[in-house]
Amino acid sequence: MRIGIPKGLLFYKFGELWQARLRAAGLEVVTSPSTNPEILEAGLKHSVCDLCLPVKVFFGHVHALKDDVDALFIPRGVRTEPDSYLCPKFIGLPDMVRAAIRRLPPVIDTEYNVKERSDEDFWKEVFAQIGHKIQKTEEINSPYPFCKDKKEDSEETERQARAFSVGVAGRPYLVYDNYLNKGIIRHIRRLGIEVVFQTPSAEYIRETMDTLPKWIYWSMAKEVVASVRWMIESEEVDGIILLVNAGCGPDSFMTELIERTMDIQKKPYMSINIDEHTSDVGLQTRVEAFIDMIDRRMKTKAL
């Protein structure tokens, strides 16, 4: 039995855990290729126009997979933490996929809701849906194996080592998807700048929430806000880029919240809105200008 996992959205958070878990149960697991123009094209074709880019691209990934797998693994992400939700589009994702794309293999849409059931129950139901007997498997016990920045795409082309680094914050499925973010990470690296990602610890997130007027109730938005706060305070980072995809509901509020309640004057800060119409070149120019600005600032500081 071949299970397909589309490489988008929650894959960038739980992908490795899912693959390991399904493989450990003796199933064959395939993922769709990294986002490429054909996937984007297929995604745009299947979606209503106002959807945000990552969801559109997710449809493209499903489209790329659907014909050579026996089942698609698209869990319904409701809550990954007891006190917060994911964006409504994650909650409706399996239903949206089923509605948008025809001739699908069965979709495994088990509800992932840590408030109402344990991880163990979640997997039990997944295997029940696949119709697979759970074999004794070794425990895979980290609930949040955050997809570390895999170095597969990072080209080691440090031309001249500039002595500073830029922090990039944003949702994992935007920051780590090199096609979706228009290769912006690669571009910064090519300029000889170190890129810093930060996945804040649960403790740090809680601390950050206490500084805000009200707790944020979206898990991923929490991480974004906390990582921006970390970057503002950290010595390791000299400038901050916040990547947001246009039309992202939670982030439209979070950028506002960050800009109004946090001390973003402290460091060069830029938020970039990305959608399918964003041009690579325009983006590169903005990034280069931003880097030059940090460069100048560092030089005047050194004098």
- Give the footprint of other proteins on this chain (CB under 8 A): 47-48, 50-52, 76, 78, 84-89, 91-92, 94-96, 98-100, 109, 111, 212-214, 216-218, 246-250, 252-253, 255-257, 260-261, 273
What minimum distance in Å lies between the beta carbon of 244 and other proteins?
9
Output the CA angle 290-167-227, nearest 5 degrees. Answer: 130
Q: Give the residue with the Cβ less far from other proteins, 28 or 215.
A: 215
What minimum distance in Å lies between the beta carbon of 134 and other proteins?
24
CA torsion, ordered 172, 174, 178, 180, to nearest 10 deg? 160
What minimum distance in Å lies between the beta carbon of 149 and other proteins?
27
Bridge partner residues of 240 (DSSP): 167, 269
What minimum distance in Å lies between the beta carbon of 169 and other proteins?
17
What minimum distance in Å lies between the beta carbon of 163 and other proteins?
35
What sign does the dihedral 149-95-33-25 (CA atoms) show?
positive
Q: Give the residue with the Cβ less far from other proteins, 170 or 238.
A: 170
Residue 11: Cβ within 10 Å count: 24
Q: Give the residue with the Cβ less far from other proteins, 151 or 277.
A: 277
Q: Give the residue with the Cβ less far from other proteins, 22 or 52.
A: 52
Instruction: Name the E strands within 32-164.
Output: 71-73, 76-79, 107-108, 111-113
- Give the separation between CA 234 and CA 58, rounded to whole angstroms: 34
What minimum distance in Å lies between the beta carbon of 246 and other proteins?
7
- Give the separation between CA 177 and CA 299, rounded to whole angstroms: 33
Question: 251 CB contacts (<8 Å, ≥6 apart)?
Answer: 171, 221, 224, 244, 245
Q: Give the residue with the Cβ less far from other proteins, 179 or 217.
A: 217
Hey, what amino acid is at 30? V
Q: Give the residue with the Cβ less far from other proteins, 24 or 246.
A: 246
What minimum distance in Å lies between the beta carbon of 295 and other proteins?
29
In the chain, helix, strand, coil percent, each to 5?
Answer: 45, 15, 40
Q: Give the residue with the Cβ less far from other proteins, 93 or 166.
A: 93
Q: State phi, psi for 78 to the nearest 5 degrees.
A: -100, -55
